[in-house]
Structure 1
């Protein structure tokens, strides 16, 4: 069921039940008030007759064996005046008047000629004055009052439901515009969504959606860069291997051995590229490393430096030797080693590795360890670091770190790898 239909059903049902409950309470209250008003009219009529008798007591003196009052215009009322002895002094004509005898003081109900009547009897100065209303007349009056109430009430209910439908339609129109824009959008279009006059409740949805588009765009860009880097990394050693093997076939002795040795280096390089691709694929797929989820900075530096036989071009400053980062040792070593390899590859002079603690207590930043890898300048642009940079970005993305680059005063690049501290 759509959101629009669900809102219409739920709010319409609640609205209708509320109005019907109010209408029922109004009907019961009105019915009670009408009955009270008509009873008060009966009592007033009896009191009026009593007042007339008290002013003209000769009205009760008659020798007529069939005492009568002029029959009223309405057939739904009756009246009787009788003495305490039971003698009827005055009454309306017909069975209606005769049937009012023996009624007790106060209000009561009685069946007369198969019809229900409402009676009121007043005792005053030794006489009983009884007035009566036919209940069918009361029912017609109540139905008329109810009809007058129900018609505008029903119109108001229908109007309210119409206004509710219009309000839901208008309120969900921005959501419909968002649906239309996303449905008509090209799959390659990752531009932010812009909904004019969007309500505040829809703003978090649009913001989250635009954030998703931005992450997808970065992922697509990273995948494209990865594809380009992988093609370049594979093409270089394969071309070198092919060239050296061709040379080896054409020469002998020392030159042949040198060509084969160079071809072997190309195979080693190709093996390294393959291993990096496998590690990057494992990172992208959320692979699990069985080792401890934290590593000591001293162990990271020691393992990285062990891979470089010539350390004369490396200068290390470790100001956080005893700290731990929330990254497995293997991944932390791979990330830092790739940065150092690239710095040495694209630097003509010495490279520096500076480790220091950043953020923490008293600052708004979370505690981190900063690995600064600085080279002294090279001819390659920063974006040409290939698969190594892709692996570093994958590690930082997975473990909440960051990687930033900036040009330094020597013409080289400063690569700052930040990893979260553990504890």
Structure 2
């Protein structure tokens, strides 16, 4: 169903229902008014006849016997009316068609009765010895009401049909700017992400056009970022693959120590390639549609322990942990929290001298948990701090995939946290990773309620 037809049906049905209810209300009131008016006519006719008869009492005073046939000629339109005058039970005057026996027995006032298979409504007045009865046929009343109804409904129906026709063309004219916008969008190529011109455009469509332009801008930015990411990823993967291929070729044509060294280099390239692929998969998982089926809850102390174990499985003494041991549940899956903190520790250990340790501090607040990583490395300049979270960025020819800090920033942004790199005055870097925690999870029992943050999408996990 088209939008034009849908609007016409909605507005048309509303008009029909509204005006139909008004028409029924009007016809109901008209019927009551007509019945009252016709009853008044019967009563006035009876009083008028009684008044005329009382002006000439000699014409009927002392008269006996039944009234003879009336020579009065009644018009066709008056065939539904009847009148009868009686005195002391004897009919002294009546209209043609009136039945003396039936009208004579009519009760005083208004009454309805059936005469010769027809329904009549009568009014009987008794004054000065005279009994005057006037009556009209109910079928005549029904015919009159039907004629009035048809006369009143015909203009209404004609006006309603005309209104629907005008409404059809009016809706079409009102939707014309939307049709123009549809044609503009239909004529665009799939890769056209330039903004839609807002002139000439209906003022009512400007919010829609602005929203579409905003969407096109985000799509263009996303596509550009993905293309850049694909290009960088292809370059990063091609380098270790080329190195692995070269070392394998060297191992094939050499023997002894040279072959072993070439195989060691090949294994190192495979490990680097595996690490890069793992980081890429993690980044894709964080930025894409994430599955919450695991439902495991991350405790800050457990996250720190696992991250330290993964970062330096055989040299835990290189990391100094400063934590008060208070329980604090993070509002994100444990695997991602461990990945983010491990990347920070890996980066700090890589750039710190082997003789210096890396310090990890855990600080809690009612709504967040902050991980602070301090290293004794060379630090970064202001320009390098701005580039540090970009994908595949490495200072100089440094080792690593260049994705670690990008993954940390993506996880923090996805779950409503924050990520900061700060230059220390005494040398090295301070990295702050702040993540949201569960309501009431710091220092007390876990209540399984998430703290929503702006832009985050977090479910409520069921209680254990």
The two structures share one fold, judged by TM-score above 0.5? yes
TM-aligned CA distance change 1:280 to 1:79, over 3 Å:
closer
TM-aligned CA distance change 1:228 to 1:346, over 3 Å:
farther
Displacement of 1:367: 1.9
* Alignment-derived partner of residue 30 in structure 1: 30
- Aligned partner (choices 91, 95, 120) of residue 94 of structure 2: 91
* Alignment-derived partner of residue 342 in structure 2: 337
Q: What is the alpha-carbon distance in structure 1 between the residues aligned to residue 316 and residue 298 of structure 2?
A: 28
1:116–1:134: 8 Å Cα contact kept in structure 2? Answer: yes
Summarize deviations over 1:277-310 as a string: whole Å, max 9, x none. Answer: 4555665564679694313344145325525869
**Structure 1 residues 253-332: aligned runs within 5 Å:** 258-280=261-283, 284=288, 286=290, 292-297=296-301, 298-300=304-306, 302-303=308-309, 305-306=311-312, 318=322, 322=326, 323-332=328-337
Summarize deviations over 1:206-238 as a string: whole Å, max 9, x none. Answer: 86x788767766654554344234323322223
**Structure 1, unaligned stretches of length 5 or more?**
none
Summarize deviations over 1:328-368 as a string: whole Å, max 9, x none. Answer: 5543333233344456667999997664547x55xxxx424
Q: TM-score, normalised by structure 1?
A: 0.71
1:348–1:376: 8 Å Cα contact kept in structure 2? Answer: no
Q: What is the alpha-carbon distance in structure 2 between the residues aligned to residue 287 and residue 132 of structure 1?
A: 87
TM-aligned CA distance change 1:157 to 1:245, over 3 Å:
closer
SS in 2 for 1:331: helix
2:418–2:435: 8 Å Cα contact kept in structure 1? Answer: yes
1:421 aligns with 2:437: yes
1:305–1:311: 8 Å Cα contact kept in structure 2? Answer: no
1:300–1:329: 8 Å Cα contact kept in structure 2? Answer: no
TM-aligned CA distance change 1:170 to 1:69, over 3 Å:
same
TM-aligned CA distance change 1:214 to 1:260, over 3 Å:
same
SS in 1 for 2:89: coil
Displacement of 1:43: 0.9
Q: What is the alpha-carbon distance in structure 2 between the residues aligned to residue 302 and residue 404 of structure 1?
A: 20
RMSD, aligned α-carbons? 5.0
1:338–1:388: 8 Å Cα contact kept in structure 2? Answer: yes
TM-aligned CA distance change 1:218 to 1:233, over 3 Å:
same
1:226–1:387: 8 Å Cα contact kept in structure 2? Answer: no
**Structure 2, unaligned stretches of length 5 or more?**
394-401, 442-464
TM-aligned CA distance change 1:127 to 1:161, over 3 Å:
same
Displacement of 1:41: 0.6
* Alignment-derived partner of residue 102 in structure 1: 104
Q: What is the alpha-carbon distance in structure 1 between the residues aligned to residue 92 and residue 317 of structure 2?
A: 137
SS in 1 for 2:104: coil
Q: What is the alpha-carbon distance in structure 2 between the residues aligned to residue 268 and residue 160 of structure 1?
A: 77
* Alignment-derived partner of residue 404 in structure 2: 388
1:295–1:327: 8 Å Cα contact kept in structure 2? Answer: no
TM-aligned CA distance change 1:198 to 1:240, over 3 Å:
same
Q: What is the alpha-carbon distance in structure 2 between the residues aligned to residue 191 and residue 406 of structure 1?
A: 38
TM-aligned CA distance change 1:153 to 1:251, over 3 Å:
closer
Summarize deviations over 1:129-177 as a string: whole Å, max 9, x none. Answer: 2233355554453334223321233244435545765786688778767
Q: What is the alpha-carbon distance in structure 1 between the residues aligned to residue 71 and residue 146 of structure 2?
A: 31
Displacement of 1:263: 3.8
TM-aligned CA distance change 1:99 to 1:69, over 3 Å:
farther
2:114–2:120: 8 Å Cα contact kept in structure 1? Answer: yes
Displacement of 1:124: 1.0
TM-aligned CA distance change 1:3 to 1:406, over 3 Å:
farther
2:86–2:130: 8 Å Cα contact kept in structure 1? Answer: yes
Summarize deviations over 1:49-80 as a string: whole Å, max 9, x none. Answer: 22233343234259797486865666434433
Displacement of 1:18: 4.5
1:295–1:326: 8 Å Cα contact kept in structure 2? Answer: no
1:103–1:121: 8 Å Cα contact kept in structure 2? Answer: no
Displacement of 1:39: 1.8
TM-aligned CA distance change 1:107 to 1:217, over 3 Å:
same
* Alignment-derived partner of residue 85 in structure 2: 81
Displacement of 1:125: 1.0
TM-aligned CA distance change 1:29 to 1:180, over 3 Å:
same
* Alignment-derived partner of residue 119 in structure 1: 122
Displacement of 1:44: 0.5
Q: What is the alpha-carbon distance in structure 1 between the residues aligned to residue 292 and residue 118 of structure 2?
A: 91
